[in-house]
Structure 1
Amino acid sequence: MKEQDRPRAVRIAVGLWLATAVFVLFTTVGLWFQRGEVQRLTDWTSGQVTSFLATLTGVALVFVVAYAVLTRLFLKRKNWARITLSFVAIAHMVWILFVGISASNLVTLLLICAAIVFTWQASTAQWLAEVREP
C-alpha cells in the first residue's frame, strides 16, 4: 500500500512514533555529553554517573527499538501492534515520571500523547479493520 493511500491520522501517528524514538535516542546521547554537568548537579562519583547513564541508555534503547518495530508492524496493519504501542507508551510515561521531569521529558510526553491520540482516531481504526477477515 502506498503512503498516500493511508489515512492522514495514520501517517501522523507513524511520524509521531518515529519522532518520539529519534528524540529519545538523541536526548540519551546528549546526556553522555553532559556527564560533567550531571556529576556536578548530583554530587555523585564518576562511577555512579556512568551507572546511572548506562541504565538510562539501556531503558531508552528498549523504548526506541519497541517504537521502531511496533510502528513498522502497525504500518503492516497489525491491530495488536497498535495496542502494544499504547501499552509501551504508557510504560514509557511511567518511567519518565519515575526518572523525573525535565524539558526533554516533557517534549517526550507530549510526543507520546499526540501519537496515542492519532493512533486511536476513528479513521485509523477503520483503516486497520479493512484488512480483518469477517
Structure 2
Amino acid sequence: MTDQDTPRPVRIAVGLWLATAVFVVFTTAGLWFQRGEVQRLTNWSSGQVTSFLATLSGVALVFVAAYVLLTRLFLKRRNWARITLSFVAIAHMVWILFVGISASNLVTLLLICAAIVFTWQARTAQWIAEVREP
C-alpha cells in the first residue's frame, strides 16, 4: 500500500493520533521538569509529588502505547482498531477531565476530537471496507 492509496482523511487521522501520542509524551516529561512548581502549588511532600508524577507517567505511557499500536493496525485497515482507538480516546478524555484541565490538556482534547472526526469520516469507512479482514 502506497501513500497515494491512502485517502487524505486517513492520513490526517493517523497524523493526529500520532501527534496526540507525541504531545502526551512531551507534556508528561515537562511535568517532571516542573516538579518543584507542582510541589509549590499543591503543598505536597517530595514523595507525594513523585508518586503523583509516576502515576501520571504510567497512565500516559499506556495511552501513548495504545495510540501507536492501534494507529498502526488502523493503517492496516483493521476496523476493530478504529473502534478501539475511539474507545481509548474517550477513556483518555475522561482521564483528562479527572486529572484537571490545563492548557496542555485542552490541546490534547482538541487533538483527540479532531482525530476522532477524521477517523470516522465516510471516506475512511469506505477505505477500510475496500479490504475486508481475513
Which amino acid in the other structure matches residue 112 of structure 1?
I
SS across alignment from 2:53: helix
Partner of 2:92: 92
Q: Distance in 2 between matches of 1:18 and 1:35?
A: 26
Equivalent residue number for residue 46 of structure 2: 46
1:70 aligns to what? 70
- Code of the residue aligned with 1:94 in structure 2: it is V
Shift of 1:5: 1.2
- Residue 48 of structure 1 and its aligned partner are, at CA, apart by 0.2
Q: Give the 4+ runs in structure 1 shifted more than 2 A.
A: none
Shift of 1:52: 0.1
Task: Give the equivalent residue in structure 2 for 1:23.
Answer: 23
- Quote how far apart the aligned CAs of 1:4 are: 1.7
Q: Deviations over 1:69-126 (max 9, x none)?
A: 0000000000000000000000000000000000000000000000000000000000
1:24-65 alpha-carbon deviations (Å, 9 max, x no partner): 000000000000000000000000000000000000000000
| RMSD of Structure 2 on Structure 1 (CA) | 0.7
Give the count of matched residue pairs: 133
1:61 maps to a residue whose letter is: L
Q: Distance in 2 between matches of 1:3 and 1:128?
A: 15
> Could you list the runs of 5+ residues in structure 1 that have no partner in the other structure?
none
Counterpart of 1:127 in structure 2 is: 127
Q: Which amino acid aligns with 2:36?
A: G
Give the TM-score taking structure 2 as reference length: 0.98
In the aligned structure 2, how far is the partner of 1:75 from the partner of 1:96?
A: 26
Q: Percent of aligned positions with the same letter in both sequences?
A: 89
Q: Quick check: 1:56 aligned with 2:60?
A: no
Identify unmatched segments of 5+ residues in structure 2.
Answer: none
2: CA distance, partners of 1:102 / 1:45 = 22
